[in-house]
Amino acid sequence: MSTSDLSSPSPAEVENLVVLFVGFALATFLYGLTFFQMYIYFSRYSNDDIWTRVLVGALFVLDTTSTCLVSELLYHYLITMFDVSMDVLYATTTFCIQDLLSVILTLIVQLFFARRLYTVCGGPSSITSRVVTVAVFFCAFIAFVFGLTSVGQVFKQRQLSAFALPPMAIVAGISQGFAAVTNIIIVVAMCWSLRPARYPDMHVPEGVIDNVVVLCVGRGLILAVVQLAFLGTFVAAPGKPYWIAFQMISCRVYVNTVLGLLNTREVKHGVGLNEEETLSDRQDSRNEGIPSALRFRMPLSTKATQQSVSFSRQDENSGGSEIEEASKSYGDDENLSSVRSRCSEQPAYDKASLS
């Protein structure tokens, strides 16, 4: 390859390198959020359920491994293969392993939400709970199986542009499609289950920011949006590298959604309380732990009532203290005046006796 060819890369090469760099930058940023949220969780919820703590640790380890593989992948394409034309991207072993970890992380997060739905939809006594949980399990399992098949095809074919071929495109499309259906079921079921009509003691979020956090993180809307964008990009242009960026960031969005859901809970004695927990338990937990910036606030009427009660108590206490101080000062003044009168009378008495 001549020097002129190196100085003027082809449009396809520029497209491939830009997609790789953008995917790496977003993946690195999201991993920073993963590390920060992991630290918050283990510092606040020290007595949380052992399985939840194991889940958070496993998600962090897998996400860290995947991010390291993405970094090595970018180094391979931009540094090691600097003198080689990038008109066509070839999947390295690192890329295949990273794709496999993405499929595994997607399954773990979807199973986590399935377990959450099993609880909030009514538990074992509810038919709706069992139906919704089975539907999520089934769709997630289908997406996982076809995802593994797609990874095997990539490992065998190596050329990423081969996804334009019908066999590979169909397998990958089914995997992404069932993953999107799973996330949509999760969002609808979470919004239907976690509503004030079913849980009267549940905290009601206030303001735009709190409602967005609840909808995107607490109900899993961000998962459905990212997965649908991934699916749409792949279906629209399977032979183009645009879907690679979504493949790099989607698993980190999944991980951060679970960590965000766990970290927005109230904490009581080191144990996290879900938003559907009783109001009394959540009120007792407000003085413990580090205050969360995403904590859901109480209704305005409740706040006003508590503030008025506290103000009235403060007024009563301050009034009582003022009366006590006034009585003390009045007693001190009387004692002081009596002492002064006695001292003034004593010299007069002595003078009279001498005269």
pLDDT per residue over 239-270, tens digit each? 888 888 898 999 999 999 999 999 988 888 88
Can you give the pLDDT at residue 179?
96
Q: Note the pTM of the prediction, 2 decimals.
A: 0.75
* CB distance 168 to 242 below 8 Å: no
Distance CA 113, CA 123 (A): 14
In Å, how far are 89, 120, 140, 244 from 114, measured between CA atoms? 36, 10, 9, 27
**Which of these, 82, 12, 69, lies nearest to 248 by C-alpha position?**
69
Output the CA torsion 98→102→107→109 (10° steps). 130
**Helix boundaries (H) for 158-241:** 166-193, 207-213, 221-236
pLDDT under 50: residue ranges of the chain: 1-6, 280, 282-309, 311-312, 323, 326-328, 330, 336, 339-340, 343-355
**Which of these, 241, 187, 193, 242, lies nearest to 219 by C-alpha position?**
187
Residue 264: DSSP 8-state: T
